[in-house]
Structure 1
Amino acid sequence: MFDTTHLAGHIADRVAAQDWNALTGELDEHGHALTDQLLTPEECRRITALYDRTDHFRTTVDMARHRFGSGQYRYFTHELPDVVRELREAFYPRLLPVARDWAARLGQPAPWPEGLAEWVAMCHAAGQARSAQILLRYEAGDWNALHRDVFGEMLFPLQVVIGLDSPGVDFTGGEFIMTEQRPRAQSRASATTLPQGHGLIFTTRDRPVASRRGWSRGPMRHGVSTVRSGHRHTLGLVFHDAA
């Protein structure tokens, strides 16, 4: 059984209570970082149950049809369920300092304002006006090809995926995979088992990597290994909208 007594209160308080110094260090070192538990099993089940309520979503994507892998996902409309909206709003200000620091190291612009609403308005003004928040469903045999969630010029360099089912109980396999293209070296891969209710913060496109000449871009892609049995649902929080 999960001990969820520490999860009472608002979503924003749970996100704020994370060890952000440690998470920032993990992001700098590896390009991804696993949070402590953010959602209770019951909260996870309520989000999962939304999948069959199509009024919450603007479109459904069959991954096999588009050669993205196998499985299905749905993009939420802008009328986000409260828990999804609260998670996104709580993560943005915590990830903003990392985003700005990475941009400074790479000598890139850092266009992100203090508030998420203002940043989303900037995305819409640039022609990226469709919600990119996503609910994914995998069954046995499904997988997700390595990719990046880049939907236009307006880009936030970090995003979050939250596990909604329990590994080893609801499903087997289905590890979250990241690959990093290293300068003048072979690519490096990592695999993370995503516990129920925990979030994985990860690089959207590339991250700063120390090199002899200073900081270089470390391009990264993410995907999901083959689900061996059961079902696997995840919630994806993206901080820029889609064209």
Structure 2
Amino acid sequence: MSGHSKWHNIQAKKGKMDAKRGKIFTKIGKELIMAAKDGSSPDTNAKLRDVIAKAKAANMPMDNITRAIKKGAGELESVNYEDITYEGYGPNGVAVIVQSYTDNKNRTAGNVRHTFDKFGGNLGTSGSVTFMFNKKGQMVIEKTDELDEEELMMLALEAGAEDFSAEDEVYEVITAPEEFESVKSALEAQGIEFLEAEITMIPNVYTALDMDASEKFQKLLDKLDEDDDVDSVWHNAEFAEGFED
């Protein structure tokens, strides 16, 4: 699942990834299958290259990655998935984008709509919230004693990053989508490892939530996370200070 650039979301997602690694691998596997339909070589398929980077950042075994790519390229039998995106609003008008890979769009649409309705939200039309987001490359790096913030920032910016920021426990590097791979490669060449490395949707405006709304919205996110058809969720919620899911 993908949220925005606030450390709370990154931390929550990392914890859930550790607890539900099998489910995460299943979802990334679908992404690899979809991306590999446009070519099985990451050298010529930028989308596949990005998803492979995401898979590696999640510590997905190379055998799983290779098998999914072969399925997408038609070398192994595979289910035919569709890429469908839903847009809507959660509690307090939080903007939400849901990306799904599904073999049954009626099932997925019904499940997503039910989840929004159940937890105080509603689905909108295509384009109803995407204007509140920018597509960006995002790399999240854990703070350690070995990493010098100033040196890391200069390395990232010189490689072509748009922005560098320090959160409580991590550094965040933001790039234009087309610069993502080159910046990531430059950092990797210096031995930098990532908690996350992916193309994502970052809000250009945030919706602040109080404690009650934070709890309601987290329940909506958790329910979407349980749906095997849902791959990524982006939103512009700013959780209440002190909120822990």
User: If the length of structure 1 is used for normalisation, what is the TM-score?
Assistant: 0.28
User: If the length of structure 2 is used for normalisation, what is the TM-score?
Assistant: 0.28
Which one has a larger percent helix, Structure 1 or Structure 2? 2
